[in-house]
Structure formats: structure tokens, C-alpha cells
Structure 1
Amino acid sequence: MNKSEQKSPTAIVLAAFGTTYPATLEPILAMLHDVEERYPAIPVRLVFTSNIIRRKWHRRAADVNYRREHPAVPDQIYSVGNILGAMADLQNEGYRRILVQPVLIVDGEEYRDLAAYVEALGAVRTHKPQWQPFAKVAVGKPLLGTFGHREQLDALVRALKPDIDAAHAADAALVYMGHGNEHMAQGAYYELEILLRRAYNIPVCIGLVEGLPDFETVREKLAGAGTRKVLLKPLMYVAGDHARNDMAGDEEDSWLTLLENDGYQVTPVLEGLGQNPAVRAIFLNLLEQAAREAAIEL
């Protein structure tokens, strides 16, 4: 490592998908607080990867009545930016070593796009090395790991023990709704379900909003679960729109309605994974792992 890299200041960017529900900002802000508390001398910036969610908060910033009705929403949420803007701002302020930790669940399109942005900026090379915008950049892994790297799944299985205990106390099957996508990375959900079943020996079913395993997969597995009770939870960082509508909404095609129509006694729990401190601790560990692998001292 040359002297300029050794002296180059470091910054951290926390990249969450985001949420439009003020009540579900708490897990994101808790993650931000955890990182700031762990690294008090390092600046930490929060970005949302969703263009739609950022724009909605930007529109709300000019709505005086909305801001008056939601005094708990921090100013930084109304002006939340994207990863490109955050890294450009940090570089302009003199930060040339950037650690980006996604607050994302799976190695899907959202994570791949984020990593592509960060790695592209980190790959910029100038004729004179001292004018390169960044000395080093690194991207941490998502919660369920990346292809070939899912070492933290065992830690997640342990972190989800409170959900298992709640299902066991209710003599219920535990059903998680994840987001998923139709392109890649669905195997991590299957693997997590297998590990949870083996570790705790109770019925656990994971289904996705997009792609497989879907709701019909959950329905098929529940048929052999040996219980007519279901504890229904989101396998998402926040219990946002999908949890409130697709999972636990009143619509005829929500998972809650469909399961109740199948004769199950369903208890929906609108708590995102980010409300579990043990899950947030895994993200902190992933951040530290990314720093070690990139030889960035925190």
C-alpha cells in the first residue's frame, strides 16, 4: 500500500432499498445508528437504491403539512440520495476509500446493480494515479450471501430463533414471505429453509412475491405440516408495502386471505428483519469482512 492510500480517509455508505412508510423507517435508522456507534470516527451516509422511493421522499420534502404530521422523520430521509451521488459527494469531500454495505437480503438484481455502480466507480483510472477519484472501494455481501459465499447463513439461522420460539409456542408453522425476483439467487431461500428446518425441527416454509418458491409452494408444504396454525412474517428488512398488502392485506389475493380461506388460523406479524438486533449484527460483520478483504482499515 502506498502512502497516499494509507493516509486516504475512509467513509461508509449504507445502501438500503428504502421504504415509503414512516413507521417502517425505524429498522433502517437502527442499522444506521449501529454502524455510527461502531465507527464513531468514520462518516456514514445512508442511500436508498429504489428510484421510486427516493422520489417520493423528495416530493414529501416540499409538503409542509406532511412534514408537520410526521415529526419523527429525520431531515436526511427527505433528501436521501442514490449511491452515485453519495460516492461523488464523498469523493468531493476528500474521502477516497469507500465501504458500501448493502442492507439487502439476497444476491439479486438490486444487489448486482448496486455492486456494478460501485465497482465501476472504483475502476476509474487516470493518467496520473494521484488523480484517481478513489484509492479503494469495497461492497459488502447481502444477508443471504453471494454466489459461492453464504457463510453467514448459520448466523442468520441463529438470529431467527425468536421467530422459531414464537411459532413453537403457538404450535404453528412458520411461513416467511420474501421478495425474490425472477432472474437469479432463489437458491439461497431454499437453503435457508432447509437449515431452519434441520436446526429447529418445526415446519418452516419460505415463499416469494416474485419467482420460486412461490405461494403455491408454501401451500403445498403446509398441507403436510401437521398443523392448522400459521405464523406469517416477512423475510424482508422492513415490513413495508409487500408485507402490509401482499402478505397481510385485506385483498382477496393476499397470503393472509388465501391461507384463511384454506382453513388456517393465521397470525401475521408486521416486523421486518431489521427489527432484530441479531440480524443487524450480521450486517455489521459483513461490513467488517468487506473491509478486511479490501485491506481497508476501520
Structure 2
Amino acid sequence: MQVQQTEAIVLAMFGTTVESALQDLLAIHTAVQAAYPQVQVNIAFTSNQIRRIWHRRATNPDYLAQHPEIPREILQIQGVLATIANLQDRGYVRLVVQPTHIAPAEEFHDLAAYVRGLLSIRTMKPRWRPFQAIGLGRPLLGTYSLKYAYADDIRIAAQALAADAELARRQAAALVYMGHGNHYFPSGGLYLEFAARMRELYPDVLTLIGTVEGFPSLDEVVANLRHHRATRVLLKPFLIVAGDHAINDLVGEEEDSWQSILRREGFAVTAEVKGLGPQVASIFVTHVAEAATEAGVELR
């Protein structure tokens, strides 16, 4: 007799509306599913706006005809709570929720609140509690934890990006990453520590990072480039997907894109517009495994 599977993994992603950028997210899904071939692995998008855009596209016959490559799961994408509710309704009561966020900022804290709320549900008869266990994985650069030092997570992320440093070295260029950042959450320190670890691991490459929102800004990056007398720059998004920020804010033709600004400042600029998803997918696989162990969820 076949035993009802009760374990599942939810990959909580901000999402993207850029078709070509989906490959960065799907690479993470593929890696996690390969690690746990017998476990249900679902994607959820945390952005309400992005989900609405995909739902509109799903009802547009012309769009569907032009983009047959889009997976049905993306066209019918749900938020985290809806995804979890549907899994629970199908008997999945032992979950791991793994964010693919980079820093433990606003979206991660909201996700943690969802998990705490679901785990707090008590029923009169304990056997009817909707969930037996839910593990919450760490973002790429770690989070507050007495077991897993965030500094180790930062170093592991830097090690995963060795190819970026090598590309910059071959071009004799400074490696400049664009992160997202947040005006209301102090994530800048994590970004700066990441850049410091890159410089430590790859001392022949000047690695700097700025953010679209908050600190450090592009102004700080330019000041550092001048301080180190750099003349060539390799731009890369420090984002899971090469979506709107990468296409427009980083290398767009508008005068306020980073590429345009740096060229006006006199730097020779090249860019590699690729998301981090494929490079760091294995890190999220590890974070899933560690979250499952902590929560007592056995994944197969």
C-alpha cells in the first residue's frame, strides 16, 4: 500500500515578469527537485504585482501563443500562503519554506511571520492541527541564528561567485555588483561584508557593491573606484534574477542607469547581465536541508 507523502518544499521567490529571467528562478527549482526527487517542490511568488501580471498573461491567447515556453506553474503562480494552504489541503503537513531572497530584510521578516502564525494554530484535538512542522530556510547571506553564523553564509556565497572574479580579472576590471537594498532595513552591512570577502578571496580583483535603494549607493561605489584608481568596470547584478532592475537600472540606455553614469564618469564599462540563480542554487539546496533538519522534517 502506498504511503501518503506528507513532506513538501515551498520556494518563496520575489518573482519576475521578464521571461528570460525565469531561467534564473527555475534553475533553483531544478536543483532542489534534483536533490529531493520524491518530494513535492512548489514555487511561490511573494510579489502581488508580479503574480497579477502573470495571471493576466495566462488569460491572453496571443501571449500564450507567443510564449509556449512559460511553465503552467508560472502562469498560475500563487503567493506563499495560498501555496501552503493548497499543499495542506492535499495532505502535506510537514513543510520547508525556503526563501530565495539575498538578505534577511523586509520580505524575509514577513515570510517568517507567516510561518510563525501557521505554527501557532492550535486545535481542540491536537491531531487536527493543520501542520506538524514547518522549517524556514535562510536567505543567501544568512540571518540571525545561534547555529549558523551569517558570516559563514556570506563566505560561501562569495566562494560560489569565483567565476565573476575571474571574468573581471581577465578584463583587468573592477567588479561592481548592483544589489537591491532597502531604505528601511539596514542590509548595507551585509553587502559590504560580502564585497570584503570577495576582495579577500580574490585579492587581484577590486570588488565593490552598491544598491538601488539605501546604502551603499552608486555614489559610494564611484568614490571607491576613484580611490583605487580603477579605470575599467565589469557590472553584474547581485540579484537572483536578471529582471527589470538589471535590464533597466543597471545597463539601460537611459541616462540614469549605472552603466550610463559610470561611462559619463570616465570609466570603460562592460556588463554581464545574468542573475545569480544558477550560481547559488546549490546554496539554497543546503539551506533547505539544514532547515528541514532543524524542524524535524525528513526529506527524501
**Which residue of structure 2 lines up, in the alignment, with residue 30 of structure 1?**
27
Write the letter of the residue equivalent to 2:182.
N
SS state of the match for residue 240, structure 2?
coil
SS state of the match for residue 77, structure 1?
helix
Take 1:180 and 1:138, find their aligned partners in 2: how far apart are those partners?
A: 26
**TM-score, normalised to structure 2's length?**
0.94
**Deviation sequence 1:179-232 (CA, Å, 0-9, x none):** 010122221111101111112112111000011001111111111223210000
1:19 and 2:16 correspond: yes
SS state of the match for residue 227, structure 2?
coil
Write the letter of the residue equivalent to 1:227.
A
- Give the CA deviation at 1:156: 1.1
Contact 2:24 2:242 in 1 (8 A): no
Take 1:115 and 1:128, find their aligned partners in 2: how far apart are those partners?
A: 26
Write the letter of the residue equivalent to 1:212.
F
Contact 1:8 1:96 in 2 (8 A): no
SS state of the match for residue 200, structure 2?
helix
SS state of the match for residue 98, structure 1?
strand
Contact 1:172 1:230 in 2 (8 A): yes
- Give the CA deviation at 1:122: 1.6
* 1:113-124 → structure 2 map (5 Å cutoff): 113-124=110-121
Q: 2:235 aligns with which of 227, 232, 240?
A: 232
**Deviation sequence 1:33-76 (CA, Å, 0-9, x none):** 11111111111111001111000000000000011111111111
**Deviation sequence 1:121-172 (CA, Å, 0-9, x none):** 1211112111111011111000011135312222111111000000000000
**Which residue of structure 2 lines up, in the alignment, with residue 217 of structure 1?**
220
**TM-score, normalised to structure 1's length?**
0.95
Contact 2:24 2:241 in 1 (8 A): yes
Take 2:96 and 2:221, find their aligned partners in 1: how far apart are those partners?
A: 37
**Deviation sequence 1:249-277 (CA, Å, 0-9, x none):** 0111110000000011100111010132x
**Which residue of structure 2 lines up, in the alignment, with residue 262 of structure 1?**
265
* 1:80-95 → structure 2 map (5 Å cutoff): 80-95=77-92
Contact 2:28 2:278 in 1 (8 A): no
Take 2:188 and 2:176, find their aligned partners in 1: how far apart are those partners?
A: 16
Mark the runs of 5 or more structure 2 residues left unpaired by the alignment: none
Write the letter of the residue equivalent to 1:158.
Q
**Which residue of structure 1 lines up, in the alignment, with residue 136 of structure 2?**
139
Take 2:176 and 2:31, find their aligned partners in 1: how far apart are those partners?
A: 28
Moved over 4 A (4+): none
Take 1:280 and 1:226, find their aligned partners in 2: how far apart are those partners?
A: 35
Q: 2:245 aligns with which of 239, 242, 247?
A: 242
Which fold has the larger relative contact order, with Cα–Cα distance below 8 Å and residues 6 or more apart in sequence? Answer: 2
1:109 and 2:140 correspond: no
Contact 1:228 1:264 in 2 (8 A): yes
Write the letter of the residue equivalent to 1:208.
T
1:129 and 2:126 correspond: yes
Q: 2:207 aligns with which of 189, 194, 204?
A: 204
- Give the CA deviation at 1:116: 1.1
1:295 and 2:296 correspond: yes
**Deviation sequence 1:1-44 (CA, Å, 0-9, x none):** xxxxxx87111101111000111101111111111111111111
1:182 and 2:183 correspond: yes
Take 1:205 and 1:60, find their aligned partners in 2: how far apart are those partners?
A: 38
**Which residue of structure 2 lines up, in the alignment, with residue 4 of structure 1?**
none
SS state of the match for residue 25, structure 1?
helix
Write the letter of the residue equivalent to 1:240.
G
Percent identity over the alignment is 44
**Which residue of structure 2 lines up, in the alignment, with residue 3 of structure 1?**
none
Deviates more, 1:236-245 or 1:267-276: 267-276
Write the letter of the residue equivalent to 2:227.
G
SS state of the match for residue 95, structure 1?
coil
Mark the runs of 5 or more structure 1 residues left unpaired by the alignment: 1-6
Take 2:23 and 2:106, find their aligned partners in 1: how far apart are those partners?
A: 25
